Amino acid sequence: MSAQAWQDFYQDRPVIVLGGAGFLGSHLTERLVELGARVTVVDALVPGSGGRLDNLATVVPRIRFVQANYGDTSAWVSALEPGSIVFHCAALNTHRWCNEHPEQDARWNYLPNCALAGLLHRLSFSVRLLYASSRTVYAQGSARVVTEGHPVAPIDVYSLHCWASEQVLARLLGPRHGVVLLRLPHLYGPRQRLQGIEIGFMGELLEAALSGKPYELFAAGEVYRDVLYVGDAAEIFPRLGAHSVTGVFNVPGAYVSARTIAQTLENLCGWNTYRLVETRAPSFPRLSGQKLRKVLGRLPQTPLQEGLWRTLQAFQQY
């Protein structure tokens, strides 16, 4: 599909962004508005979740906003039409907290997906659904590169609920609707949550750099992981949504060490209070993007230095 074709695909198309006032969701909403889609955003604006109406300030006049948990499907079902695309970015993203509060995690990250699956299963017409899942559903092991065929073994309750949501959405809706499951790495960028519980590795590093705080990098900073600029993710979702493919897709980022990220931040803003600690810590295996690249032709990938510069500029202005 040519660039012009997939962009024309969204002209006046009804789309729903679940969690559209959050970190990824707000960037995706902006991109869809640029493409001419008729966008409905559903977000509960839960304190501490990262969902804020301010994130949508540039597009509020051009979208329909529904303040509700997406599991309360009666609040937004009227936005669904034949040919609709549903982009699902809603989640309370925690890992340690969910292990101590599994029932609450299920209320936020699994049970609403059961309600969503039930709604779409009952529709008299077909839609497409793209669900933002997590790479943490994969089994840990010695593999250096993880493909979509890698064994699944969720590492915590949050990841288990991601995988369970994948299953209920794909198995219940797959025969009638186009369901795409995107397994994402660490995201970073403007509007990233830097306060509250579990802001994640990239959040912790950015918060330390912006405030000049010390930070310890384990394994002498040689822990490698995929990190993906949020703008790249917001470009991949609509491009993939315009295709007829279904199934699981890895979304890789730049595969870099923690020390490289810290040194890049040092070069950009002068932060030098990080410390390399000689403790053992495993790297994350690299995500293979071969399947996604085959469909899209190329993968948008903002260089790390440029992505971090944009992120710092946004936070400093804010």
Residue type, 35: L
Task: Collect the ranges in the chain with pLDDT lower than 50.
Answer: none
pLDDT, residue 47, reads 84
Q: Domain residues of the chain, as ranges? A: 3-192+227-252+284-301
Cβ burial 85-112 (10 Å sphere, 16+ → b, else e): bbbbbbbbbbbebbeeeeeebbebbbbb
What does the alpha-carbon distance between residue 158 and residue 101 come to, in Å, rounded to a whole number?
10
pLDDT, residue 1, reads 66
DSSP sequence for 213-264? --EEEGGGG--EEEEEEHHHHHHHHHHHHTS---EEEE---EEEEHHHHHHH
Cβ burial 271-298 (10 Å sphere, 16+ → b, else e): beebeeeeeeeeebbbbbbebbeeebee
CATH superfamily, domain 3-192+227-252+284-301, is NAD(P)-binding Rossmann-like Domain (3.40.50.720)
Look at residues 202, 237, 203, 181 and name the one whose alpha carbon lies nearest to residue 29: 237
User: Which residues sit opposite 131 in a β-bridge?
Assistant: 88, 181
pLDDT, residue 196, reads 80
To which residue do tokens 């699944």 refer? 152
135-186: per-residue pLDDT in tens?
999 998 878 999 999 999 999 999 999 999 999 999 999 878 999 999 999 9
DSSP state of 94: -
User: Which residues sit opposite 16 in a β-bridge?
Assistant: 40, 86
